[in-house]
Amino acid sequence: MTDDATLSLHEVAADWLMRVREAPGDAALARALAQWLEERDEHRRAYASVERSWQLMAALAPAAASPLADERQEAPHSRVMSFPRRLWRPLGIAAALAAGLAAFLAFPALLLLLEADYRTGTGARQALALDDGSRIELGADSAVAVDLNGTTRLVRLLAGEAFFEVRPDPARPFVVDAGGVDVTVLGTRFNVRLTSTDAGVELAEGAVSLDYPGHGQAHARLAPGESARVDLRTGALVKGEIAVDDIAVWREGRLFVQDATIAAVVEQLQRYHRAWITVPDGALAQQRVTGLYDLTDPDRALRALVEPHGGRMREISPYMRVLSRF
């Protein structure tokens, strides 16, 4: 079982709940849970809180989908209206809800996923052929909404990342909206990533312009081999250079990051890991890294990420990983 001194009481309660749900017929586990509940009133209150949160989420979203394949899939242009499977990863849900359902409701990006036309699960990718001849390769745990009916072809990246190959049409510009950052193109190949704090673009071919209205009018034009990152909170825009061969290497099972915080890299690796990942050590989370990580083995990637900084990955349960320096 988990170490109560390491985790918050609600996280421990969430771990108990998930273990029981995974093995409802395990009498020994049920007795162990009963003993833990009898130890302290705080244990019973934490467990009841987690159960209530789980039930409330069940009322808000449909039951979990069947396991998603890891290989790429071709998909027709059809609308999907359901919660992302990521929200139903066992401890990812319970621990997040135990930390506070209000935090979940306050995160608008998660609610926007209800609008997705296409979405992927943890570690899965999907290749999309749009009606205009353009193509999108959707990364893991990602979602987009597509509208090709107007004078502007619009794709909203609601979560995660995607690689675009846009069919030229001078009369109908192609715009990708990533958290309010508009990426406008006529015909080109580029990668767009959306996180909880920023939106990033890497250009492989052609030309794109970036605009972030309402935040200092952040604007940039990119040429092949250039990248740009916009801070969604401040509107600050930073341009950089990237080898074209390093753009969207997630399509080959690798993650390339350049001068990123460990916290930002963990957010990306989370989309490939079925366990919930947390970095309670704030100083470790803010260490900056540049490197290439293996997405086919997320645990190995986590170790490679933190060990050079004195950190280690602790496997608390099949559903939780903690990165710390102690």
Please list the pLDDT of the chain residue by residue as tens digits (326 residues).
Answer: 444 444 567 778 877 877 776 666 677 887 888 888 888 888 888 887 776 665 554 444 433 333 333 333 444 333 333 333 333 344 444 444 444 433 433 334 344 556 789 988 889 999 999 999 999 999 998 999 999 998 999 999 999 999 999 999 999 999 999 999 999 998 899 999 999 889 999 999 999 999 998 666 688 999 999 999 999 888 899 999 999 999 999 999 999 999 999 999 999 999 999 888 989 889 999 999 999 999 999 999 999 999 999 999 999 888 789 999 87
E strands present in the chain: 74-75, 118-119, 126-129, 135-138, 143-147, 153-165, 174-178, 181-185, 189-194, 198-205, 208-212, 218-222, 226-231, 237-241, 254-261, 276-278, 288-294, 312-317, 320-324
260 belongs to a structural domain: no
- Bridge partners (DSSP) listed for residue 261: 288
pTM, two decimal places = 0.69
CB 264 within 8 A of CB 199: no
Task: Flag whether 304 is in a domain.
Answer: no
Cβ atoms within 10 A of the Cβ of 271, count? 23
- Whether 7 is covered by a domain: the verdict is yes
Residue 165 DSSP SS3: strand
Residue 269 covered by a domain:
no
Residue 195, domain member (yes or no)? no
Answer yes or no: are the C-beta atoms of 305 and 270 closer than 8 Å: no
Query: 111: exposed, middle or buried (C-beta count within 10 Å: 0-12, 13-18, 19+)?
Result: middle
The residues near 312 (Cβ < 8 Å, ≥ 6 apart) are 303, 306, 323, 324, 325
Residue 201 maps to a domain:
no
Nearest to 42 by CA among 10, 7, 85, 81: 10
In a domain, 128, yes or no: no
- The token duo for 307 is 């060990």
Structural domains in the chain (count)? 1
Domain assignment of residue 11, given as a range:
1-60+82-106
Q: Quick check: 233 and 220 in contact, CB under 8 A?
A: no
Does residue 41 belong to any structural domain of this protein?
yes
Of the candidates 302, 303, 309, the one whose C-alpha atom is nearest the C-alpha of residue 325 is 309
